[in-house]
A and B are shown apart, each in its own frame.
Chain A
Amino acid sequence: MEQVAFFFGAIGALGGAIAVIALRNPFYSVLALVIHLFSLAGLFLLLHSEFVAAAQVVVYAGAVMVLYVFVVAYVGGAHEPVWEPIPGQRVLAPLLAAALFAELSIAVLGSSLKGLGDEGPTIPLGFGQPADIGELLLEKFLIAFEAASMLLLLSAVAAVVLAGKKQGPPAADAEV
């Protein structure tokens, strides 16, 4: 039963990922990513990380992806030109990606990590529950928690600055 769920999730995630990079219209890519995120959330559930799964759906698929949708709607989906200005990119990119995958897999599978081959130890009851996560966040990882909130503040300020009205004469031909 668990294997079936895993494979569903895996296919969903993989399919979504490939769709993101293959679809021409950015809007469709965003939607594909949403599917990918949902699949990942399912995989997280399988791994007994309920809180992370919930956060993934609510924050990631919910907030972040909606933001993406807004921007895509505003910006519009431009069609990418066919000609490739960088020589060899079209060839090397898939090659390197494949090489990356191969290496990572070999590295992980060939490592002598104990416990890779099995399902893992018996976990306590509260593992992955919000209570457990909350305890950890506020005790062991308090500084990370606070830093993360600082980061969020910074990015909020950045967003305001970036999107704010430009001061001074507009440079229409200015390069970014």
Chain B
Amino acid sequence: MTGTTYGWLVLLFPLLGSFVIALGWRVLPERAAGWIGTAAIGLSFLCGLGALEDLLDKPAEAQHLTDSLWTYAEGGGLDIQLGILVDPLSVFMVLVVTGVSTLIHLYSVAYMASDRGYRRFFSLLNFFVFSMLLLVLAGNFVLLIVGWAFVGFTSYALISFWYRRRTATAAGMKAFVINVAGDVGLVLATILIFREIGSFEFDDVFERAPDAFTTNEWTVVAICLLLLVGAFAKSAQAPLHTWLPDAMEGPTPVSALIHAATMVTAGVYLIARTHPLFEVAPTAADVAAIVGLVTLLIAGSIALVVTDLKRIIAYSTMSQIGYMVMGVGIGAYGAGLFHLMTHAFFKALLFMAAGSVIAAMANRQDIDRMGGFRRAMPFTGAALIIGSLALSGFPGTSGWFSKDEILSFAGERGGAYWVFAVLGYLGALITAIYSFRLVFRVLWGEPVEEARELERGHIAHAEAANPATGEPEDTGVGFPGPEHHIAEHTAPMRIAMGVLAALAVVGGLVQIPGVTDVIGTFLEPTFEDSKFAGVHPSTGDEWIGLVIGGLLSITGIAIAHLLYVRRLGTSARLAARLRPVHTFLANKWFFDELLDLLFVRPALAVGSFANRTFERYVVDGLVAATVGVVRGAGGAVRAAQSGFVRAYALLLIGGFAGLGLYFLVVSS
């Protein structure tokens, strides 16, 4: 079977799985939904491996397969195909997405077991994976947009999965609206591309881009900036990032899959895929890198003070994607994608562990109420520690290798790009501090009541309540199920977390500088046309960077240990002393309020104007006026139907006389 056939199969299985689960709800037992979903993604992963094998058989120049199923639209200068592109970049993304998705599906089989929306969950999750795969396998901009939009939809559907929870639906709408704003950018970019180059196919566009545009010509910069709008909305970069923390309203597996490993990386993929365009417009690439850096720091600073477990991890995601965006913005495509892969591993692991902890806490997520789970949850605790080590870039973990590859590249480019490297390392320090703040808060210290209950063998129970607002809920449909599942008790969760933990530890070994360069060589065929293909820090420089990164990571862990274990209370005192700073950070840099002021209020004002004035007076007025006219005309005509026979006779004879007069006049 050829690579493209594998490509189509990769798309087919999740779609089929989604439909079978959705349509077979009467026939299939509930448990089957989970296994069908997991199997579908597993099969997709295997087909991804098949495509990989087929690619590797070919020489580098030929590792670029396209195939089209049918033509969407043809004529009038348009030629839109339902076509996929199988090359190293897309296969890489396919493997990462399907691999991590399989593990998350497995985790969800146990985690969502008592939820009444079990089938809906797996159907949507499968459809999400299908959309994401469509996005990465698309061979032209139109199909990319289709996948992009589907991903946005499924993200919305899954964030508001517990749809009777007011905060969840609000979060879903927020995510969707911001995503759509990004979609607008993407669509406008596509239109501009078509206008300038005349084709939607990736091959055509990227081949002709260097010739069609002069460097930094305003059209190509506009195109790239619009692409960035789309990428930033999807990848939650400032200022379009406000939806991501709220998206934690969705179930934990959703956060793990969509908001850590896959959907939020779509923006990174987009920039990497359209790198020929970005290289013709270095200004836009620099904008991307700067935004990535800024987001990195903002998110890191917020993660230092928020107290909701999942939101800390969400801000950490935002920060790490800032690294990736920065990486692909400065031209380190391979490094950025490598970090994407490792991040998928350890972030999914962290979310899974967080899910376990939340279950133990009877669905409460406030870390101020947690503590001392070390003895009660050994496995989850270990997973949490491993994930955090990888996140902080502890020497030896996958995160260490991937993060520093990006930063060394920045240093290698030299000049003003040193700023990226320096601030990137600062961000790494902050990352280490907040990730171990989480670890020490949750695992160390005096065991809280829930932990003690767990040590005695059963999970704590509390009244079902909204973790964000505390208002009571019931556990019927549209709300989380009544049972809580932790990793220690359920095998699927343990298996998934175990695999990811292993990958988080050894995943970096594929890119040891000077020793192995698996990902770099694999992705070479896609990026060989890049200006930066030859830029490569020397092995010595890379190892220096690694050492610095490792030291910073250890320092950060030590600081966190100091603040949260040895001298408890320091952070509270700091918060009291630097109250304005603390408030600023705790309120997420007031981004929500800013966007509310700039966009939400004007939109609401326009809407209320439209409703109260325009609709009432203009539209209704027009309709009422039409009705009035018709009624009036009807009334006027009705007056002729008086019922008086003599009046009718009068009209008859009068008409006849008039007609006769007319004919007499005409014929004379």
Residues in A lying within 8 Å of B, measured CB to CB:
85-86, 89, 92-93, 96-97, 99-100, 103-104, 106-107, 110
Contacts and interface: CB of A to CB of B under 8 A. Distances in A.
B647 interface: yes
B664 A89 contact: no
B657 interface: yes
A107 B663 CA distance: 9
A96 B661 contact: no
B70 interface: no
Contact of A92 (B644, B650, B661, B668): B650
A99 B664 contact: no
Majority secondary structure, B binding face: helix
A103 B664 contact: yes
Interface string B639-668: 000101011001001101100110110001
Contacts of B668: 110
Given A85-B644, A86-B642, A89-B647, A96 B653 contact: yes
27 contacts: A85-B644, A86-B642, A86-B644, A86-B646, A86-B647, A86-B650, A89-B646, A89-B647, A93-B650, A96-B650, A96-B654, A96-B657, A97-B653, A99-B657, A99-B661, A100-B653, A100-B656, A100-B657, A100-B660, A103-B660, A103-B664, A104-B660, A106-B664, A107-B660, A107-B664, A110-B664, A110-B668
Contacts of B644: 85-86
A95 to B, nearest CB: 9
B657 A103 contact: yes
Contacts of A92: 650, 654
A15 B656 CA distance: 25
Contacts, number: 34
A85 B516 CA distance: 110
A174 B660 CA distance: 40
Interface residues of B, number: 14
A117 B644 CA distance: 42
Contacts of A110: 664, 668
B539 to A, nearest CB: 110
Contacts of A106: 664
B650 A103 contact: no
A105 to B, nearest CB: 11
B150 to A, nearest CB: 68
B370 to A, nearest CB: 88
A100 B663 CA distance: 13
A145 B129 CA distance: 90
7 closest Cβ pairs, A-B complex: A103-B660, A99-B657, A86-B647, A96-B653, A86-B644, A100-B657, A96-B654
Contacts of A103: 657, 660-661, 664
A110 B663 CA distance: 12
Given A103-B664, A106-B664, A107-B664, A89 B650 contact: yes
- Counting chain A CB atoms within 10 Å of each CB, the highest count among B642, B653, B657, B668 belongs to B657
Nearest to A87: B647
Contacts of A89: 646-647, 650
Contacts of B642: 86
Nearest to A88: B650
Interface string B30-56: 000000000000000000000000000
B550 to A, nearest CB: 105
A41 to B, nearest CB: 27
B499 to A, nearest CB: 91
A92 B653 CA distance: 10
Given A86-B644, A89-B646, 13 more contacts: A85-B644, A89-B647, A93-B650, A97-B653, A99-B657, A100-B653, A100-B657, A100-B660, A103-B657, A103-B664, A106-B664, A107-B660, A110-B664
A93 B657 CA distance: 12
Contacts of A93: 650
Nearest to A100: B657
A99 B658 CA distance: 9
A103 B656 CA distance: 10
Contacts of B647: 86, 89
- Counting chain B CB atoms within 10 Å of each CB, the highest count among A96, A99, A110 belongs to A96
A107 B660 CA distance: 9
A28 B644 CA distance: 25
A110 B650 CA distance: 26
Interface in B274-306: none
